[in-house]
Amino acid sequence: MDALKRLIYHLRPYWRGLAVTTVFILLQTALGLLPPLFQRDIIDDVITAGQIDRLLPLVLGLVGIYALTGLTEFGDQYLRHTIGERILYDLRVRIYNHLQRLSLAFFERTSTGELMSRVSNDVSALEQFVTHGTILTVVAAVRLVGAAIVLLVLEPRLALVALLPVPLIALGLRWFNRRARPIYRRVRDRLGDVNARLQDDLAGIRVIQAFGQEDAELRRFSEVSQNYLNERVASIGTWSTFFPVLGFLSSLGGVLVLGAGAWMVMQGQLTLGTMVAFLSYSVSFYEPIRRLTDIDNILQQAVAAAERIFELLDQEPDIRDAPDAVALTQVAGAVAFEDVHFRYGDGEDVLHNVDFSVAPGEVVALVGPSGAGKTSIANLLSRFYDPTHGCVRVDGQDLRGVRVESLRQHVSVVLQDTFLFNATVRENLTYGRPGATDAELEAAARAAYAHEFITALPGGYDAVVGERGVKLSGGQRQRLALARAILTDPRILILDEATSSVDAEAEYLIQQALEQVLRGRTALVIAHRLSTIRNADKIIALEGGRIREVGNHHELLARGGLYSQLYQRQLELAAEDGDENGR
């Protein structure tokens, strides 16, 4: 029940509002106990004894009670549900804020659909508990105790008859609790699987259609949906068994009261009015029991959802500020990797003994075959990960002793897999610098040779680019990403295959722009097209996570090593492509 305790603890900031709505519900409960007494007096005093003068006051009293009940019900419903929505809003925001601070490694091992299920579906599953479970549990218990006391006062013998089914109800509730909670947890997990599959398929719909895999994906989605259906049916079987039995036991109590009460009236041991009042109170006694079992069902679902939510909130970021971390302020741009080893998770090392330095304002290119470790070096410099051994320094500061936020204010990255938000061109370009002026925005776009195609779009800088920039070509998306990085005016710029999706003309123009943009900045350039980094101050050739050679373009060509082999191979492939195109 740790999840339940934490969930209740989460309600503490809202105790004032919850206290007010509790008062409303208690007043409503107290008022609900009065009408049977008025009904008893109408039957015994007015109808039976003929005291007609008492009829009008009793009827007016009932009208007043029902009017006050309506007012308290309005106050309770409005306030309780408003507070409930506020609680769920705060919880969603808290989860989102926590997700923003988790490390990339967490997102690499957790599907987006699963996370969306926890933020959306699991939080929504708490709504019934928040709006009905917490306060109404207390109120139902108070009403149950109050009705039991009134029954004992009216007629103790008949009260004992009314209580006969209660032990059986308690045993049934225990059985339901033990069976329902694990089933509801599996329901939440399987719903997460459905959302994960749906999100993955929608994100990859172009690939699915391109390869004609619609039927195969339908089978996969049907499979996870069937698993969810099976768990839902199991949960339905549990509560659809329990609640009819509960209804039968509650009705049985009413039948026992009716039979015993009728016998006592016929024996002269009980007045008819008292028996009618007792029947009303017996309904008031069993109705809270049914309410508590309904709440218990809500509770089991809420605990299952809360367990998944708190599992997420308990995730600790791998990358976080040290207690004594300092902020990077004035950054010159010196970068050093000192005997760096690195692995992803529990896998094997992807970097071994990486050791190099970059002077402020120097442009360094990383080259090598796929899997050589180039992107891993960029990830370490951005501190998306920490090395497993050694350290990475900026201006002599070990990045593990630097505040992450301050580091990323001075480091911009243009990734090979360009991501754009479903927003306007302007909003995407100013994402890292919201206060940029129109002149600065245009200057960055011109530097990336993006201004011309932007102004040609319907709406220009206010054109919406679509989800992930789907309305733009690959080259246009990369030029926008480059302009976005330029606009932040970073001291250190990382280009990870930043020109991989542009045509030859655009690549040439971007290279010309980069000569201006990179001047005075430290740059780490990752490129498979070796022709694009011939002017780099230093080229580091990697293979198998190790540095094989370091030098400039001419030096490395003269050595005839790894870089020279890669360069010659690209020249051969380019020549073969030229021959193919000329035929």
pLDDT (tens digit, 9 = 90+) per residue, 68-95?
888 888 888 888 888 888 888 888 888 8
Q: Say yes or no to pLDDT of 583 above 80.
A: no
**pLDDT tens, residue by residue, 241-255:** 777 777 777 777 777
Pick from 381, 268, 273: nearest CA to 335: 381
- C-alpha count within 13 angstroms, C-beta hemisphere, residue 573: 10
pLDDT of residue 352: 93
457-483 CB burial, b ≥16 within 10 A, e <16: beeebebbbeeebebbeebbbbbbbbb
Give the chain's largest Cα–Cα span.
122
pLDDT of residue 392: 94
pLDDT of residue 503: 61
335-582 has CATH 3.40.50.300 classification = yes
Q: Say yes or no to pLDDT of 351 above 80.
A: yes
pLDDT of residue 500: 58
Q: Say yes or no to pLDDT of 480 above 90.
A: no
**pLDDT tens, residue by residue, 379-425:** 899 898 999 999 999 999 999 999 988 888 888 888 777 778 888 88
pLDDT band of residue 377 (cuts 50, 70, 90) is very high
User: What is the rounded CA–CA span in Å between residue 164 and residue 170?
Assistant: 11
Q: What is the DSSP string of 90-107?
A: HHHHHHHHHHHHS-HHHH
Span of 256-260, 292-296, 322-326, 341-345 with lowest mean pLDDT:
292-296
543 token code pair = 């293979």
Span of 92-106, 193-207, 569-583 with lowest mean pLDDT:
569-583
* Backbone dihedral angles phi then psi of residue 337, each to the nearest 5 degrees: -110, 120
User: What is the rounded CA–CA span in Å between residue 285 and residue 152?
Assistant: 12
pLDDT band of residue 108 (cuts 50, 70, 90) is confident
- Average pLDDT over all residues of the chain: 81
pLDDT of residue 509: 64
240-268 CB burial, b ≥16 within 10 A, e <16: eebbeebeebbeebbebbeebbeebbeee
Place of tokens 């409503």: 28
Distance of CA 229 to the CA centre of its chain: 23
Instruction: Name 492's bridge partners.
Output: 411, 522
At a CB cut-off of 8 Å and minimum separation 6, what does 344 contact? 105, 108, 350, 385
Instruction: Name 366's bridge partners.
Output: 526, 540
Q: Say yes or no to pLDDT of 224 above 80.
A: yes
pLDDT of residue 265: 80
364 token code pair = 């360094």
Host H or E run for residue 575: helix 562-582
pLDDT of residue 340: 93
Place of tokens 């976005």: 484
pLDDT band of residue 502 (cuts 50, 70, 90) is low
Helix, strand, coil shares, percent, the chain, to 5: 65, 10, 20
User: What is the rounded CA–CA span in Å between residue 293 and residue 298?
Assistant: 9
Pick from 68, 162, 568: nearest CA to 559: 568
More confident residue, 501 or 181: 181
262 token code pair = 């009728």
DSSP state of 501: T
Domain ranges for the chain: 2-313, 335-582
- Cα-Cα end-to-end distance for the chain: 74
Q: Say yes or no to pLDDT of 263 above 60.
A: yes
Taking CB atoms within 8 Å and a gap of at least 24, the contacts of 244-248 are 245/172, 246/169, 246/172, 246/289, 246/290, 246/293, 247/290
Q: 38: burial class by Cβ within 10 Å (0-12, 13-18, 19+)? A: middle
The fraction of the chain above a pLDDT of 90, given in percent, is: 9
Residue range 127-154: mean pLDDT, rounded: 74
Span of 83-92, 234-243, 485-494 with lowest mean pLDDT:
234-243
Q: 61: burial class by Cβ within 10 Å (0-12, 13-18, 19+)? A: middle
pLDDT of residue 221: 85
pLDDT of residue 381: 92
pLDDT of residue 147: 75
pLDDT of residue 405: 86
CB 441 within 8 A of CB 461: yes
pLDDT band of residue 575 (cuts 50, 70, 90) is low
Domains 2-313 and 335-582 agree in fold: no
User: What is the rounded CA–CA span in Å between residue 281 and residue 93?
Assistant: 45
**pLDDT tens, residue by residue, 143-178:** 777 777 877 877 788 878 877 787 887 787 777 777
pLDDT of residue 357: 92
CB 253 within 8 A of CB 282: yes
Q: pTM for this structure?
A: 0.70
pLDDT of residue 506: 61
pLDDT band of residue 533 (cuts 50, 70, 90) is confident
User: What is the rounded CA–CA span in Å between residue 327 and residue 493?
Assistant: 19
Domain topology for 2-313 = ABC transporter transmembrane region fold (1.20.1560)
pLDDT of residue 390: 92
